[in-house]
Amino acid sequence: MTVSVNTAVNGSKGDADALRPHAEEAFADELRALAAADDRPRPARWRLSPWAVATYLLGGTLPDGTVITPKYVGPRRLVEVAVTTLATDRALLLLGVPGTAKTWVSEHLAAAVSGDSTLLVQGTAGTPEEAIRYGWNYAQLLAHGPSRDALVPSPVMRAMAEGMTARVEELTRIPADVQDSLITILSEKTLPIAELGQEVQAVRGFNLIATANDRDRGVNELSSALRRRFNTVVLPLPESVEAEVDIVSRRVDQLGRSLDLPAVPDGIDEIRRVVTVFRELRDGVTADGRTKVKSPSGTLSTAEAISVVTNGLALSAHFGDGILRPADVAAGILGAVVRDPAADRVVWQEYLEAVVREREGWKDFYRACREVSA
């Protein structure tokens, strides 16, 4: 069940059984409180001012005492630049390695700006041009010929007509010729419908957020013509262990509540260990800078750490005592690190013996990892 824009922003409940409510549904109370407290100028058709949108993403406390939870933990200036871009005629490209919260930020930006994060094109190697432009209801087309009634608008076309924010995920996974169908939309703010001799012009409030990374296989580089239509904001990996632990803890807590899993604080030590292992293998050096280690083939992103911890919480809830322990996360770490069974297994074994085994207070973690690695 998808809740309408007005229902979500007014705070009414969506489907209580939804496994992952849309951002405008999950945080409807915060959006409503921000809208009530927001007395700053708003661009045309924006639900909130740019200041309020940034506050929604970064968190804060409103004058009435309402606490706005952070949706993104990172440099404030990056969020401000992203929000400001959406208030101009430039589209926004969120770029970064996998797991840097590009999709998460995109969804919450659309929810705060337009009250609807569902105008989404999911990029894949098989995404057709119709997903970005428009398609046809073939029954209507065969019966009556080309007409507006037979036309099926894409999420981008709907956003243009209604002055909303459209989203394109994994832009670089879309074939290059399909990517370039965005050029006219972003430069001329119009979408020609050649079959009808008509066009759809974007109304004020329309903009587009795209996400992309250059680490995945099958990447289709953006043409220079298309890249010029975007203002690019690069989302970095968390700067410190503490920042990454905070991100993982917050997100796991949100996921855990929807899945009836144990509270995060009971396993904060294990979260710190998972994050430390991922960061050291990712950076190729231990946290103290004394020991160089080999890096595996995977990205070991924050998103993967969240997945490992969430799976560990599920194991502890259903097959343990409800407290996150080393044995609950060991298998998940092994699966995240060892993507190439030959090369990555050697990297993992060397890291276990040279770093984890010698680290004070990590004996239980070492034994759990050795057991699943045997």
pLDDT of 266: 66
- Distance, in Å, from the CA atom of 10 to the CA atom of 41, rounded to the nearest integer, reads 20
Structure tokens at 257: 């509540």
What is the DSSP code (8-state) at residue 285? B
Instruction: Return the SS3 of 342.
Output: coil
pLDDT of 223: 92
pLDDT of 220: 84
Q: Find all residues with CB under 8 Å of 127, minimum gap 6, and list them.
A: 121, 173, 174, 175, 178
- Distance, in Å, from the CA atom of 262 to the CA atom of 316, rounded to the nearest integer, reads 8
Identify the residue whose tokens are 């993507």. Answer: 339
pLDDT of 3: 39
Tens-digit pLDDT profile for residues 148-203: 999 999 999 999 999 999 999 999 999 999 999 999 999 999 999 999 999 999 99
Stretches in the chain below the pLDDT threshold 50: 1-13
Kindly report the CA angle at 277 between 275 and 281, in degrees rounded to 5?
A: 120
Is the Cα torsion angle 232, 238, 240, 242 positive or negative in sign?
Answer: positive
- Distance, in Å, from the CA atom of 258 to the CA atom of 100, rounded to the nearest integer, reads 22
Is the Cα torsion angle 124, 128, 21, 27 positive or negative in sign?
Answer: positive
pLDDT of 217: 60
pLDDT of 208: 98
Contact 116, 5 (CB under 8 A): yes
pLDDT of 216: 66
CATH superfamily of 5-234: P-loop containing nucleotide triphosphate hydrolases (3.40.50.300)
pLDDT of 16: 61
192, β-bridge pairs: 199
Give the count of beta carbons closer than 10 Å to the beta carbon of residue 239: 11
- Distance, in Å, from the CA atom of 238 to the CA atom of 303, rounded to the nearest integer, reads 11
Tens-digit pLDDT profile for residues 33-75: 999 999 999 999 999 999 999 999 999 999 999 999 999 999 9
- To the nearest 10 degrees (0 to 180), the angle between helices 343-351 and 326-337 is 140
Q: Which residue from 22, 69, 30, 111 is spatially nearest to 249, judged by alpha carbons?
A: 69
